[in-house]
């Protein structure tokens, strides 16, 4: 290898834009070194390329498993230019220093994401040489620039052209950090996928005499032996739940469309920790409805939820539930916000307002309130009634530990309900029961929710006693001037005694939806029959802590 020329090593699995980038490097005076398929692509593009095998004087072997693991490559990447002994060693062995490395890795994550991926396919897509080169180049960031994604090409080229083919130390360090992050993400994905494989169960499904589960996807446990969640910091926050706490907001490495982490802030002050927590609660609730809906949240609990023909009508109904709590709350719509709805919402003090889109008229309304935070979250058409992939697992820190569970994605249909009382709900009551149940899923336990005509009329949340939640819901309805007579009531868990049912009946409920499953179900059913109430069981509980 030429020991004086500037050398760029290129070895990529994702070849997006690489021919154009390599051509620009060659024009800047870099000598191109490459491997296998990448070298062929560059040669086909008419670029002068030296294959790595010519540099190592050793052919690729083992179906390409070994090609870059050689001192001629890693010496060129790791040699410190400010250390005479390092440079003398390169000179003595005819090794050229590598100044720039463009490396991305075998597509392990994409491979295992495909349905039916076998263990053999997964193993063959574990890159060895790539991460080794990335780590070597990143460790020697003072002298080597390492690029690990096509999105970096444009900015690097711009700086190279503007500075005579050099990159600043700041840029090289940032590229190094990104490279180590990429290797960490890659290793985390491999570790988590492999540690979820049930070897014994998987081996049993293979053909006799064949390699273990080579022909079919392995059996995998829902939770891996080691969890390696990866999150990317979006922003530092002013403080946490309280001013004496520090905080930051992170997103999943690959956030699901239509989730809070994909939001675009159109105006307003910086989001706070509490803003984000409450916004997530409001958005996850509102996005489940197929009708136009509005959800108002205060302190992580819905204080008003409604569906209606339009966003503005839904807001008007939701606000009626508890206008006192709605003051300074978070408002979420699952439909674009138009001018009339914006004018109505702007009359109250609101911290954050979310919608899939805002019309120019709506933006003009809130331009007069520059502190209001407007978040646009685009909802893909297929997300109605479907929980996003990013919510498939939920995490909660406990002392020196982590609780992980699958997300509560259960969606109830009318056919799932069991009518257990003599009296059956009317069609309208059935719709109100289903609506109340949807809302109860997003209310902190113990949760009691009264609904009527597609809107909440009383919400009791987060009490140690289910009776107290019911009483609070009734008090809130009374304070808001709403009648609970004829309302549907939802309880997120079963009633252990009949007194809970009696409190709902005393408040005016005409029908009740609850999971059932108590040893005293018969007593509660008898109470409902006695009070002339229709009751249905879901068979599903919705605790939310």
Catalytically active residues, by annotation:
139, 299
Distance CA 8, CA 12 (A): 13
DSSP string, 32-62: EEE-HHHHHHHHHTT--EEEHHHHHTS--BT
H or E segment and range at residue 508: none
DSSP bridge partners of 124? none
Distance CA 117, CA 337 (A): 43
User: How big is the CA angle at 87 (ends 81 and 91), to the nearest 5 degrees?
Assistant: 140
The number of residues making up the chain comes to: 545
Question: Do 92 and 3 contact (CB within 8 A), yes or no?
Answer: no
Lookup: tokens for 99? 């100044």
DSSP bridge partners of 394? 405
Within its chain, how far is the Cα of 376 from the centroid?
16
Nearest partner of 440 among 483, 464, 470, judged by Cα: 470
Rg (CA), the chain: 30
Question: Do 147 and 175 contact (CB within 8 A), yes or no?
Answer: yes
Distance CA 203, CA 188 (A): 24
Within its chain, how far is the Cα of 125 from the centroid?
25
């Amino acid at each position: 290898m030429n020991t004086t020329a500037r050398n760029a090593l290129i070895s990529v699995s994702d070849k997006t834009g690489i021919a154009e980038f390599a051509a620009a490097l060659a024009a800047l005076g870099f000598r191109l070194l490459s491997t296998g398929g990448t070298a062929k692509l560059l040669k086909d593009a008419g670029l002068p390329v030296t294959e790595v095998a010519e540099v190592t004087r050793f052919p690729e072997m083992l179906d390409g498993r070994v090609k870059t693991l050689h001192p001629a490559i890693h010496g060129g990447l790791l040699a410190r230019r400010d250390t005479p002994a390092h440079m003398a060693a390169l000179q003595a062995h005819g090794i050229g220093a590598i100044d720039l490395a463009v490396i991305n890795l075998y597509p392990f994550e994409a491979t295992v994401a495909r349905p039916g991926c076998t263990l053999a396919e997964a193993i063959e897509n574990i890159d060895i040489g790539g991460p080794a080169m990335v780590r070597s180049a990143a460790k020697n960031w003072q002298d080597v620039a390492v690029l690990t994604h096509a999105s970096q090409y444009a900015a690097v080229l711009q700086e190279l052209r503007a500075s005579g083919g050099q990159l600043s130390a700041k840029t090289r360090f940032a590229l190094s950090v990104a490279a180590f992050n990429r290797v960490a993400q890659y290793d985390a994905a491999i570790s988590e996928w492999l540690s979820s494989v049930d070897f014994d169960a998987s081996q049993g499904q293979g053909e006799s005499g064949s390699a273990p589960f080579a022909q079919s996807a392995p059996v995998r446990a829902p939770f891996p032996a080691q969890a390696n969640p990866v999150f990317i910091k979006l922003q530092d926050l002013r403080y946490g739940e309280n001013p004496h706490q520090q905080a930051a907001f992170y997103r999943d490495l690959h956030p699901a469309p239509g989730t809070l982490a994909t939001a675009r802030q159109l105006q307003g002050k910086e989001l706070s920790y509490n803003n984000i927590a409450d916004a997530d609660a409001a958005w996850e609730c509102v996005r489940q409805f197929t009708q136009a809906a509005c959800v108002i949240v205060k302190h992580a609990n819905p204080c008003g939820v409604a569906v209606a023909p339009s966003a503005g009508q839904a807001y008007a109904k939701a606000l009626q539930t508890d206008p006192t709590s709605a003051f300074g709350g978070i408002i979420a719509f699952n439909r674009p916000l138009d001018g009339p709805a914006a004018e109505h919402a702007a009359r109250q003090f609101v911290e954050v307002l979310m919608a899939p889109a805002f019309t120019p008229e709506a933006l003009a309304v809130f331009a007069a309130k520059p502190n209001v935070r407007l978040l646009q979250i685009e909802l893909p058409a297929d997300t109605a009634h479907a929980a996003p992939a990013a919510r498939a697992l939920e995490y909660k820190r406990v002392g020196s530990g982590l609780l992980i569970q699958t997300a509560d994605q259960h969606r109830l249909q009318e056919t799932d309900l069991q009518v257990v009382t003599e009296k059956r709900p009317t069609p309208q009551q059935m719709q109100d029961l289903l609506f109340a149940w949807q809302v109860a899923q997003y209310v902190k336990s113990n949760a009691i929710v009264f609904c009527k005509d597609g809107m909440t009329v009383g919400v009791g949340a987060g009490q140690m006693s289910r009776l107290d939640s019911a009483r609070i819901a009734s008090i809130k309805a009374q304070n808001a001037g709403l009648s609970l007579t004829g309302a549907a009531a939802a309880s997120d868990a079963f009633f252990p005694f009949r007194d809970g049912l009696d409190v709902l009946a005393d408040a005016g409920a005409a029908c009740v939806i609850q999971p059932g499953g108590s040893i005293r179900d018969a007593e509660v059913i008898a109470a409902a029959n006695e009070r002339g109430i229709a009751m249905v069981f879901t068979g599903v509980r919705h605790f939310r802590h």
